[in-house]
Amino acid sequence: MQKVHFTGIGEPIMLEIAIALSRKNSFSVSGSDDTFEGSSYSRLIESGLWPESPGWHADRIHKNLSAIVIGKHINENNPEWQKARELGLKIYSYAEFMFQQTRSKTRIVVSGSHGVSTVVAMILHVLRKVKMQADYLTSIQPTENDPKVLLSYESRIAVFEDQQADGNTGTMFQACKPHIAVLTGIAPHNAAIYLDFGEFIQKLHKLTEQMEVQGRLIYNSTDDNLNEIVSHLRRDIVAFACEKPDSEIRHQTTYLKTRKADIALQVFGTHNLLNLEAARLACRQIGIYDDQFYKHIGDFAGLPGRLTRMPYGEKHTVYADSSNTPAKLKTAVRAVKEQHKEQKLIACYALTDKNSLNTDFLPLYNSSMRFADVAIVYYPPTVSKQYGLEALTNEDIRKSFGDKPPINIVNDKESLISLTETLVKEDAIFIFAGPNNFHNEISVVFKKQ
């Protein structure tokens, strides 16, 4: 029996890995943390992993442990980490530990600034349909009943999501040494990266050096930065350019055109077609034929909160999208406009993400809503104060977003509802982009219809 201790088990990703590991019959799992937020408490209880008491306890670290896994928010002064060093135990980050668990498997790592969760979900969807088992780590449950992390003895494949949004760009990519890597695209998602974007690109280039010998790299060839990175790859790495596949929109449904048939998709937008193509190329590398992929991808319904059509009223089509960066906002608005070309598009964006409330970063929003006919930015100044930031002015916002189309700025919920009540009188498509529950702010307007 291998005994593994998680220092920082309350962190969401650490908790998911600990629970997944505890389900393997040759492992015994323990953990510590000083705070437990959200559902962490109940999930630890349900999994039988609740520590005897909160806090850090050096006596929980002993020579009989096989390894200790350190959370990303734990510093070297932590008493459990110090004790593990004194005893000479194996110490891993969560990403390094996932590599240890899957080192004998074919590892696929998907990285980038957007579309990462979707590509992973598409791959896992097709694998499930063809009954091919896989270990995985993702930030969103593949299905309602699936965990976010799965570890097993049987599978020969592991699929990892490498999110940039958590501030640890390349964590999984570097540690897990992929045999197959997917780079979906590069765009700055916070002010620090924006101000030093050249260094950020160099870091991503160095990450490709961590790939296994004769690795396969699938990349979005519409991204100039990725084209530059690929031009300097190691000679043994084989690169596959990912381009938008042939498609057609008919009656507000996107059809993928293949050699044998047109396939109706449940997702839409150029970005999702690129995501789909990346998933297809990744699946091909592990022996899934294109015909098999196409047979099942039409059933993929997308991810919760990503261009989700809301059941509001009967007179209007309303989409909600969890966009929180300029690049994601632009792709979401463009996708809806392309899907409903003949109709007026009214787009509303909640400017409330901490990374966006920075005057150095704000200019990246220029033209991000240019595919809309009417553009609204909802910015309550109190949100800046919550983060200890200086409030933005409406002029800052208007100047940054540009004037195509002219930006309507509202600063409180009442004004947003009032403006929406005026706009619903028009024959139009709506998209509300921002935090996951933002659309609830205005749902009452559409439910009155």
Q: What is the pLDDT of residue 419?
A: 94
Q: Which residue is associated with the tokens 């962490």?
A: 40
Residue spans of the domains in the chain: they are 2-96, 103-297, 308-447
The label of the residue with tokens 């205005």 reads 442
Q: Looking at residue 145, what is its pLDDT? A: 82
Q: Is the peptide bond before 79 cis (omega within 30 degrees of 0)?
A: no
392-424 pLDDT per residue, tens = 999 999 999 998 899 999 999 999 999 999 998
Question: Does residue 344 register a pLDDT over 70?
Answer: yes
Per-residue pLDDT at 168 exceeds 60: no
Fold of 2-96: Rossmann fold (3.40.50)
The set of residues, in sequence order, having a beta carbon less than 8 Å from that of 267 and lying 6+ positions away, is: 118, 254, 275, 276, 300, 301, 302, 307
More confident residue, 146 or 373: 373
* Averaged pLDDT for residues 249-277: 96
CA distance 168 to 174: 11
Q: Can you spell out the DSSP letters for 3-25?
A: EEEEETTTSHHHHHHHHHHHTST
Mean pLDDT of 275-280: 98
- What gap in Å lies between CA 423 and CA 430, rounded to an integer? 10
Q: Is the pLDDT of residue 444 over 80?
A: no
Contact by Cβ (8 Å): 87, 63: yes
> Sign of the CA dihedral 427, 428, 429, 432?
negative
pLDDT band at 192 (very low <50, low <70, confident <90, very high): low
> Which fold does the domain 103-297 belong to in CATH?
UDP-N-acetylmuramoyl-L-alanine:D-glutamate ligase (3.40.1190)
Spatial contact of 106 and 287, defined as CB atoms under 8 Å apart: no
Provide the H-helix boundaries in 340-406: 382-386, 394-401
Question: How many CA atoms within 13 Å lie on the side-chain side of 28?
Answer: 6
Cα–Cα distance, 331 to 329 (Å, whole number): 6
Tokens 């189309």 correspond to 405
pTM: 0.93
Architecture of domain 308-447 in CATH?
Alpha-Beta Complex (3.90)
* Cβ proximity of 221 and 215 under 8 Å: no
pLDDT recorded at residue 166: 47
| Averaged pLDDT for residues 304-308 | 89
Same fold, 103-297 and 308-447: no
Nearest alpha-carbon partner for 159 in 184, 127, 113, 131? 127
For residues 237 and 199, give the distance between their C-alpha atoms in angstroms, rounded to a whole number. 23
For residues 242 and 236, what is the distance between their CA atoms, to the nearest angstrom?
A: 19
Q: Which of 64, 59, 73, 67 is nearest to 14 (CA)?
A: 73
DSSP 8-state secondary structure symbol assigned to residue 210: T
Cα radius of gyration (the chain): 23
> How far is it, in rounded angstroms, from Cα 97 to Cα 108?
16
Q: What is the mean pLDDT of residues 242-256?
A: 96
Full DSSP string of 72-94:
TT--TT-HHHHHHHHHT--EEEH
The confidence score (pLDDT) of residue 447 equals: 74
Per-residue confidence (pLDDT) for residue 438, from 0 to 100: 79
Q: Which pLDDT does position 189 carry in this prediction?
A: 64
CA distance 347 to 121: 27
